[in-house]
Amino acid sequence: EPCSVDRIIAEVIDRSRTAANAKEIEIKALGERGLVAYGNEGQLVTAVANLVENAVAYSPEGTRVDVESGATDEAVWIAVRDEGIGIEASDLDRIFERFYRADRARSRQTGGTGLGLAIVKHIATNHGGRVDVTSTVGRGSTFTLRLPSRSSEQG
């Protein structure tokens, strides 16, 4: 069904507020307003929430996390950008696997299970979309979730 991207992002930021406040991380919503994505709103919230949870978990205190939305002809995208520890190039193609955690994350003892991104990828794929990442160690990471902007049944 059609879902308000603004509402998804507001709900995600709301959920992450406590964790972000504890690290004095500011989460900001940026970009285009009034976008509509097709899919299950609860699942889409779960997907974006996992990305924002990671952004907060793998960033030092006092940094910022941006959640930006936008659209092309075919897709609506939501990008979560952090100023965190970053991900080694050699880990980038494995982080979407179940239970995979990069050494950097493990050494910080953030205590995750390594399922978050596998869930994000699963939800993206189920919606006919995808999730991509770019990252620089010591600088930060950007995860982008792309979703079809109209229902596939409507052609």
**For binding to ligand ATP (CB under 6 A), which residues are involved?**
50, 54-55, 58, 82, 84-87, 95, 100-102, 104-105, 112-118, 141
76 binds, among ligand ATP, Mg ion, none (CB under 5 to 8 A by kind): none
Name the residue with tokens 């993206």: 124
Q: How far is the C-alpha of 50 from the C-alpha of 31, rounded, in Å?
A: 20
Considering the complex, what minimum distance in angstroms separates the CB of residue 133 from ligand ATP? 8
124 binds, among ligand ATP, Mg ion, none (CB under 5 to 8 A by kind): none
Burial of 154 (0-12, 13-18, 19+ CB in 10 A): exposed
Residue closer to ligand ATP (CB basis): 126 or 151: 126
115 binds, among Mg ion, ligand ATP, none (CB under 5 to 8 A by kind): ligand ATP
Residue closer to Mg ion (CB basis): 116 or 129: 116
Q: How far is the C-alpha of 108 from the C-alpha of 130, rounded, in Å?
A: 28
Considering the complex, what minimum distance in angstroms separates the CB of residue 128 from Mg ion? 23
Considering the complex, what minimum distance in angstroms separates the CB of residue 41 from ligand ATP? 21
Considering the complex, what minimum distance in angstroms separates the CB of residue 91 from Mg ion? 14
Query: Residue 78: left (phi > 0), alpha (psi -120 to 50), or beta?
Result: beta
Counting Cα atoms < 13 Å in the Cβ hemisphere of 116 gives 16
Residue closer to ligand ATP (CB basis): 35 or 80: 80
Name the residue with tokens 């964790």: 19
Chain-centre distance for alpha carbon 50: 6
